[in-house]
Amino acid sequence: MAAQDVILREVTVRQGGETLIERVSLSANAGVTTVLLGTTDSGATTTIKAVAGLVRVNEGRIAVGGVDVTRARAGRRNVAVVFEGHTLFPHMTIYENVAYPLRVARLEAGEIERRVGVIAERLGISKVLNERPRRIDESIRRRAGLARAIVRAPGAYLLDRTLASLDDDFRGAAREAIGFLRAQEHATILMPSADAVEAMQLADRVVVMANGGVLQEGPADEVRLRPLSLAVAELASAPVFAFQEGVVLAIEPGSLRVRLNDGVTLALPIKPRDVEQGERVTVATPRSALKDGGWGALEPGMALLFDSAGVALHAPAET
């Protein structure tokens, strides 16, 4: 099965009188790894569950490969899902667990054996394929759960904070598996992460989420280097960016003069827009741009400026 687009348009999910996500629109393009970047209460996990069919969508539309799956049952959406709290079938061996989705799809025995062998080797579980889940430790069960999810060739893979609770050794193995899916299967991957560094390492495309909504989406480098708001910069750019607060000293034709809290004054070459003299602002820059002279030696074109409401007043230079 070829990789397919996953498209959400104006999706809202409510549970128990609480709105978990509201009017969420995003695109996870075919063959692209898209990371939903946000904290645990951002709505990223709910978004993944909505795509998987594990929560009811109150409003909006979800499409996989151009097919509207908003009301489709979870098993009929052509997506493979692996969640943190996965459950293996206790009466089956690890091999049988991993092979189960392929047998449901009625693949030939030889092809099933080949696929299970490849993914088991990649995730380091080859030696326990004949064991039952209760006889192996939790970290190996997690590997088996990931293997069962990605052994198929669905339209898209959904990973729910799968890397967050794993040991360091397996985090590397899981990243390698994701890399394999990207390079060899040209897979569509949609996953959440609260780790900006991890997101930028894994993602082709990043969707920054907070409070159940989308703040910004786009290519990973664009989101990191050209955040539209301070909230996006703090989520997507830290710890790569450094931040410092200041105040607008003067508004000049084509530029603003800003005094930072450490006393440094910067003349930033931007056109004033909805900002006032004396307004509190935040300046951000890649840490790599802060040389021996610190903020005082910063090249003006390397700075972002955010007004008192956290809105970006200009985009950073390419780095």
pLDDT digits (tens, 9 = 90+) for 202-225: 899 999 999 999 999 999 999 988
The CATH number linked to 63 is 3.40.50.300
Judge whether 187 lies within some domain: yes
Residues 6+ apart with CB under 8 A from 107: 115
- The segment with the largest mean pLDDT, out of 121-130, 184-193, 306-315, is 121-130
Say how many residues make up the chain.
319
Judgement on whether residues 98 and 204 belong to the same structural domain of the protein: yes
pLDDT in tens, 119-149: 899 888 999 999 999 999 877 887 888 788 7
DSSP assignment letter at 315:
P
Judge whether 276 lies within some domain: yes
Is residue 233's pLDDT more than 90?
yes
Which residue did the predictor score with more confidence, 200 or 82? 200
> Strand order of the sheet with strand 312-314?
265-268, 255-260, 241-252, 280-286, 304-306, 312-314
The token pair at 151 is 């052994």
Judgement on whether residues 37 and 172 belong to the same structural domain of the protein: yes
Task: Supply the pLDDT for residue 315.
Answer: 46
Judgement on whether residues 283 and 135 belong to the same structural domain of the protein: no
Judge whether 267 lies within some domain: yes
Judgement on whether residues 210 and 249 belong to the same structural domain of the protein: no
Residues 6+ apart with CB under 8 A from 7: 26, 27, 28, 61, 62, 63
For residues 205 and 140, give the distance between their C-alpha atoms in angstroms, rounded to a whole number: 30
pLDDT in tens, 44-60: 999 999 999 999 999 99
Judgement on whether residues 62 and 177 belong to the same structural domain of the protein: yes
pLDDT in tens, 255-282: 889 999 999 999 988 876 778 899 999 9
Task: Supply the pLDDT for residue 318.
Answer: 44
**Number of structural domains found in the chain:** 2
Judge whether 229 lies within some domain: no
Which residue did the predictor score with more confidence, 163 or 275? 275
Contact at 8 Å (CB) between 32 and 204?
Answer: yes
Contact at 8 Å (CB) between 196 and 235?
Answer: yes
Pairing between strand 156-160 and 79-83?
Answer: parallel
The CATH number linked to 251 is 2.40.50.100
Residue 78: left (phi > 0), alpha (psi -120 to 50), or beta?
left
For residues 59 and 140, give the distance between their C-alpha atoms in angstroms, rounded to a whole number: 39
For residues 116 and 285, give the distance between their C-alpha atoms in angstroms, rounded to a whole number: 46
**Where in the sequence is the domain holding 112, given as residue range(s)?**
6-222
The token pair at 57 is 């969508």
Judgement on whether residues 280 and 209 belong to the same structural domain of the protein: no
Model pTM? 0.82
The token pair at 175 is 């990243």
Judgement on whether residues 259 and 211 belong to the same structural domain of the protein: no
- Residue 63, helix vs strand vs coil: strand
